Chains A and B, each alone.
Chain A
Amino acid sequence: MTTKEEVLQYIKTLAEQKVLTREELDMAYDGGSGIKTDVVLTKKLGISEILYYIGGAIVFLGIAILLYQNWSTLGFGTKVLATLGAGVAAYFVGLLFSRDERTETAGSAFYLISALVIPMGLYVVFDNAGFDASSYGSQSLISGILFGMYLLSYVVLRKNVFTLFSILFGTWLFFSLTSFMIGGGAYFDSWKFYEYRVLVAGITYILLGYAFSKSERAPLQGFLYGFGILGFLGAALALGGWKPNQNVFWELIYPGLVFGALFLSVHIKSKAFLTWGTLFLMAYILKITSEYFSSGLGWPLALVIAGLAMIGVGYMSLSLKKKYLSA
């Protein structure tokens, strides 16, 4: 009987010889431990899966248009049945379909319908109850209910699709709740406050992506890294402002943030970090040259310098991708 240390040493040797991949090891572990791999969001999307999701989105559009065109003629009961009723039904159809491996992806398309239609149903209910359904107070309640519902669904059913919905509705809750708290007498500049919130949401997405990278929720990593770094770098660039109302702190710290993202792209092997890092570095070079050097050196010379810098950035990005991120 071989000991655990011997097995691990053997795996190490196989990995050094590139005979064994991480995926094969994960599959062997999952097979032995009885963990059922969540096929939804794990395997690559084929034509049929894409059609499932497009179908789900079209069902949502159909219900939305029905409601929009007949808002004044439909009664409350019909509206609730068409939205909340359809959403809850889609959720249970999803539950039934996801019990069988063959229909599991179709099941997640029904979950998508439920996630799109239930908010509309809650909007109808709130509107009928006399609340201003588009106010931030109502939006906080709607997003809070949905966040709780999908988080609970994840805890019970352990499906990645519910993690994704929990994150999306959690983000909606974060934005609407903070807007509700600020109200109308804000001391904050509403645009700046919005930028800070996007920055925080971006950091959260990146951290969640990293936390999920070593678990069965790893398929969400790409989505979280992509939107996380986009929100983070985009908000930080916007916080820098524009002359004469620029914020020197954000303008000075920004190159550090971008190079940090590029460095991390190698460390965490993320193409999203590399792509967005490169694009935002280019945007920063253009912004700074047009903001500060267009009058001193002259606009044409500033453009030449910016162009050369962008060629350099593009070359660096390509080399990094070839050297570290190519599979």
Chain B
Amino acid sequence: MEIIKKNITLVLGISIPILMILFVAGSIYLPGLFIKPHFNFLYVSGDDYYYNYNNGQQYSVQNDRLVKNEIKQPENVNYNPPRGESKLYLYDVTKNESKEISFVDAQNLNLDSGVKSPDDFEVVYGSRDDGFFPFFWGGGTDYNARYLKGHNVSKKLNLQLNGSSYYNNFRFLGWIK
């Protein structure tokens, strides 16, 4: 105790960054223990219009139900890329995993296509903060990672994707009510 009293500035100097590390850890991990998202969601991967040029179908939510829209591509004999196949996935927020679901099964789901879930969570891209000490530059977007974000909690999503994880290869369809 006497040593601490004698070196109080040194102790303070060392404890301030340690306290900040603990504060950051607490503010990241603690809310996640008490606040949990409840609504699973449906998404589609591989239906990007430009990338999968001729896949001929696109999903959307109309009147709380999933519908499949056929897209007629203009005939072009000179350009005929392979057809891509889009896949539907159901994301389980409690297990933090996604599983493929057929269109027939997905049609039976009652969907809310709003950006935010009824319990105020949303799916967002990650942010990127690059650099090597002492040079840091922040504020970029990480298009390869997506998070479930709300109520000061953000949880990295463990998404299954149909093909590569480029930024357009995921499209949110709706929260399952």
Q: Which residues of A contact B (CB under 8 A)?
A: 134, 139, 143, 170-172, 174-179, 181-187, 190-191, 193-194, 196-197, 200-201, 203-208, 210-212
Q: Which 10 A-B pairs have the closest CB atoms?
A: A184-B126, A190-B138, A207-B13, A185-B154, A185-B147, A211-B10, A211-B9, A172-B133, A208-B13, A190-B129
Given contacts A182-B24, A185-B155, A187-B149, 8 further A-B contacts (CB under 8 A): A171-B134, A174-B20, A177-B21, A187-B152, A194-B129, A200-B16, A200-B17, A205-B13
Residues of B within 8 A of A176 (CB): 133
Distance of A259 Cα from B129 Cα, bound (Å):
34
Distance of A207 Cα from B133 Cα, bound (Å):
22
Distance of A200 Cα from B20 Cα, bound (Å):
8
Interface pair B133/A182, CB less than 8 Å apart: no
Q: Which of B136, B152, B156 contacts A175 (CB 8 A)?
A: B136
Given contacts A143-B133, A171-B133, A184-B145, contact A203 B10 (CB under 8 A): no
Q: Which of A134, A184, A203 contacts B156 (CB 8 A)?
A: A184
Given contacts A183-B156, A185-B147, A191-B139, contact A207 B10 (CB under 8 A): yes
Interface pair B128/A134, CB less than 8 Å apart: no
Residues of B within 8 A of A172 (CB): 133-134
Residues of B11-53 whose CB lies within 8 A of A: 12-14, 16-17, 20-21, 24-25, 27-28
Distance of A201 Cα from B152 Cα, bound (Å):
25
Among B17, B128, B145, B156, the most chain A Cβ lie within 10 Å of the Cβ of B17
Given contacts A204-B17, A207-B10, A207-B16, contact A182 B129 (CB under 8 A): yes
Interface pair B149/A179, CB less than 8 Å apart: no
Distance of A200 Cα from B22 Cα, bound (Å):
13
Which chain B residue has the least Cβ–Cβ distance from A136? B129
Q: Which residues of B contact A (CB under 8 A)?
A: 7, 9-10, 12-14, 16-17, 20-21, 24-25, 27-28, 124, 126-129, 132-134, 136, 138-139, 142, 145, 147, 149, 152, 154-156
Among B10, B12, B24, B149, the most chain A Cβ lie within 10 Å of the Cβ of B24
B56 to chain A, nearest CB (A): 34
B23 to chain A, nearest CB (A): 10
Distance of A184 Cα from B43 Cα, bound (Å):
21
Residues of B within 8 A of A208 (CB): 9-10, 13-14
Interface pair A185/B156, CB less than 8 Å apart: yes
Distance of A282 Cα from B41 Cα, bound (Å):
54
Which chain B residue has the least Cβ–Cβ distance from A169? B133
B8 to chain A, nearest CB (A): 8
Interface pair A184/B139, CB less than 8 Å apart: no
Interface pair A184/B13, CB less than 8 Å apart: no
Which chain A residue has the least Cβ–Cβ distance from B29? A181
Residues of B within 8 A of A185 (CB): 124, 126-127, 145, 147, 149, 154-156
Residues of B within 8 A of A187 (CB): 27, 149, 152, 154
Interface pair A178/B147, CB less than 8 Å apart: no
Distance of A210 Cα from B156 Cα, bound (Å):
43
Residues of A within 8 A of B10 (CB): 207-208, 211-212
A97 to chain B, nearest CB (A): 28
Distance of A256 Cα from B154 Cα, bound (Å):
37
Q: Which of B16, B21, B132, B133 contacts A203 (CB 8 A)?
A: B16
Interface pair A184/B136, CB less than 8 Å apart: no
Interface pair B133/A184, CB less than 8 Å apart: no
Given contacts A175-B136, A190-B127, A200-B17, contact A184 B147 (CB under 8 A): yes
Which chain B residue has the least Cβ–Cβ distance from A176? B133
Distance of A197 Cα from B136 Cα, bound (Å):
12
Distance of A210 Cα from B12 Cα, bound (Å):
11
Interface pair B127/A178, CB less than 8 Å apart: no
A194 to chain B, nearest CB (A): 6
Given contacts A172-B133, A191-B139, A207-B10, contact A186 B17 (CB under 8 A): no
Distance of A301 Cα from B130 Cα, bound (Å):
42
